[in-house]
Amino acid sequence: MPLYKTITVDQSTNILIWKIEESFEVLSEGIQLTNHCQNRVDNMKSDMHKRGFMSIRHLLATFGYTDHDLYYDDFGKPHLKDGKQISITHSYEYAGIIVSDKLVGIDIEKQREKIHRIAHKFVESEQEFVSKYKEEEKTRVLTVIWGAKESLYKLYGTAGLSFEQNIHIMPFDLNMPFTAGSISHKDSISHYDITFTEFDGFTCVYALPYE
């Protein structure tokens, strides 16, 4: 049962990260899915996606939830029936969830060179401080920015947000794993705390409302 990392953010906010080493069959043991989720798994072509999906259910169980406690809105945002806030992420051999009394978003990304090719699609206001980093650090920096924007997109749960135009990340230092972000949407601006951690060539970023 490879629970890889536990992060206690505050009294009501906790993160669990799973390293996916088991087969789909092993991960399926003891997990009962809703009909909807069973159909989703049955239609997945990738074994890695299936294993990621099931590992999330083990993380839910660690929090005391089952698949039946989870539902998705029309946007695709997950919710818990007891009113707690949840966000879910899966990337290659890692999966994670964050549960809180507050709005939350989480994302895990593999640090890959290919992110440079798509940076123009999600970096705008951040370009000036990204350009100040050494070339060997830019992949890590861009991965933090992408993960931060993905986390905020999940937290906000509203269609029509542009990573480039509506979500902005403040300059940060890779040695200080904290930054801030904002979402401007329909004449309103909201502000958020962003935290990131790196492990095994992956970056995990999570967001909560600024307090």
Give pLDDT tens digits along the chain (211 positions).
589 999 999 999 999 999 999 999 999 999 999 998 999 999 999 999 999 999 999 999 999 999 999 999 988 899 999 999 999 999 999 999 999 999 999 999 999 999 999 999 999 899 999 999 988 899 999 999 999 999 999 999 988 889 989 999 999 999 999 999 999 998 899 999 999 999 999 999 999 999 7
Torsion angle defined by CA atoms of residues 144, 19, 155 and 179, in that order, rounded to the nearest 10 degrees = -30
Res 211: pLDDT: 79
Res 197: pLDDT: 97
In angstroms, the CA 153 to CA 148 distance is 9
In angstroms, the CA 191 to CA 201 distance is 28
CATH topology assigned to domain 3-102: Ribosomal Protein L22; Chain A (3.90.470)
107-209: CATH superfamily: 4'-phosphopantetheinyl transferase domain (3.90.470.20)
- Work out the angle at residue 95's Cα, subtended by the Cα atoms of residues 8 and 91, and round it to the nearest 5 degrees: 130
Q: What is the DSSP letter of 144?
A: H
Res 123: pLDDT: 93
Q: Could you tell me how many residues make up the chain?
A: 211
Res 1: pLDDT: 57
What stretch(es) of the chain map to CATH 3.90.470.20?
3-102, 107-209
Contact criterion met (CB below 8 Å) for 163 and 153:
yes
Res 14: pLDDT: 98
Res 136: pLDDT: 87
In angstroms, the CA 71 to CA 94 distance is 22
Strand 94-100 versus strand 188-199 pairing type? unpaired
Res 102: pLDDT: 96
**Would you state the structure tokens that stand for residue 96, as one six-digit string?**
């994670």
